[in-house]
Structure 1
Amino acid sequence: MRRSPLFSGVIYILLGVLFTYFAIHTVQDTGWGFFTYLLIFLATLDFGSGIRMVLLHFRIKQQLNQKK
């Protein structure tokens, strides 16, 4: 069974929030290092993918409603 793009998008956005949270705490504890930049990079990718998936869900839903 396939997951809907909306579910996947929400999961990606939650992962982006989690990585951002870890990055903020890493900066507070140790400062700016490689690991912090890696966490920020991963959060950016997750937020981008999450938003793209949510928009894809609504685009598919709109196309299905137009066919009816």
Structure 2
Amino acid sequence: MAAGANRERLIETLRSQGFKVSNDVKIEFEGIGNFSRTLHFIVSSGALRRRREDWEGLIRDL
């Protein structure tokens, strides 16, 4: 997808969520670099209670 299409899609998404976004808003996209082949995990220890049942629920929802 071209950068212009990404820009328009982002503006439309923000507006649909109730944000007031002007047509001339400055938006910059930045790449995330190379990916690694090793395993990665997303964890938010601040948001979870860290009981076994909580982790099992997160895994089940994935």
Same fold (TM over 0.5): no
* Larger RCO (CA within 8 A; separation ≥ 6): 1
TM-score, normalised via structure 2 length: 0.32
Between Structure 1 and Structure 2, whose CA radius of gyration is higher?
A: 2
TM-score, normalised via structure 1 length: 0.29
* Larger helix percent: 1
